[in-house]
Chain A
């Protein structure tokens, strides 16, 4: 059974801190990984994609991929209350999502 697993949270960080979200996957054949943000009552929104080992930065967001250890992470620097949402990790080889981590950023 191919799985994508995330630390279940919820995760609470103070405003301005770094939020760290983690995800592991079981299918070694997975090539593409994505992070989605889902606000309550809304649909998931793609925020980051990563395809090769290492870090990928986009503004305050950094995605990290380690294929040897089969994990993907998302760092959010200078967290803002508007970052409060559920973050979903996905491995697109088999279209599976993790269960999501709910992040709360406290002012």
Chain B
């Protein structure tokens, strides 16, 4: 009964590979997000979806493509992985009305 669940928790892959991270929330929230947290712990917004529609797309390489099949799911696909993509990726969700986020447990991506 995890509120926001991400899979996988750890992902180690070689440069040039393509990988996906999945996220699901069972809170009934309308908005979902992808954040990247680098080694200095800085959390940077990447994408935001509201009811399956993209509302925020920060300056992120187009190798990153989010997909939201329904309101409860937001996946992140990354093509041609690079060393600099190594980070922890967090999925989060929030209800309407700016009530704060619930975060998933994170996916630690290591590109070797």
**Cα of A99 to Cα of B56 in the assembled complex, Å:** 20
Chain A residues numbered 1-49 whose CB sits less than 8 Å from any CB in chain B: 31-32, 34, 36, 38, 42-46, 49
Expressed in whole angstroms, the Cα–Cα distance for A34 and B100 within the complex equals 7
| Stretch of B11-19, B38-46, B68-76 that contacts chain A | B38-46
* A99 in contact with B42 given A44-B103, A46-B101 (CB within 8 Å): yes
Task: Say whether, besides A95-B33, A95-B48, A95-B56, A44 and B100 are in contact (CB < 8 Å).
Answer: no
In Å, the complex CA distance between A86 and B102 comes to: 17
- The tally of CB-CB contacts under 8 A between chains A and B is 46
Counting chain B residues whose Cβ lies within 8 A of the other chain, the interface size class is 20 to 34
B98 within 8 A of A: yes
Which residues does chain A contribute within 8 Å of B40, judged by CB atoms? 99
**A88 in the interface, Cβ–Cβ < 8 Å?**
yes
A43 close to B104 (CB less than 8 A): yes
- Scan B30-55; emit 1 where CB is below 8 A from any A CB, else 0: 00010100001111110010000000
Contact of B102 among A38, A42, A46, A96 (CB under 8 A): A46
Q: A32-B98, A95-B56 are in contact. Are A86 and B41 (CB under 8 A)?
A: yes
Given contacts A86-B41, A94-B45, A95-B48, 10 further A-B contacts (CB under 8 A): A31-B98, A34-B100, A44-B103, A88-B43, A90-B101, A93-B98, A97-B35, A99-B40, A99-B41, A100-B41
A interface residues, tally (CB under 8 Å)? 22
B50–chain A nearest beta-carbon distance, Å: 12
State the B residues within 8 Å of A (CB): 33, 35, 40-45, 48, 56, 90, 94, 98-106
Most chain B Cβ neighbours within 10 Å, of A31, A46, A99: A46
Q: Which residues of B lie under 8 Å from residue A45 when comparing CB positions?
A: 103
Query: Once the chains bind, are B100 and A100 in contact (CB under 8 Å)?
Result: no
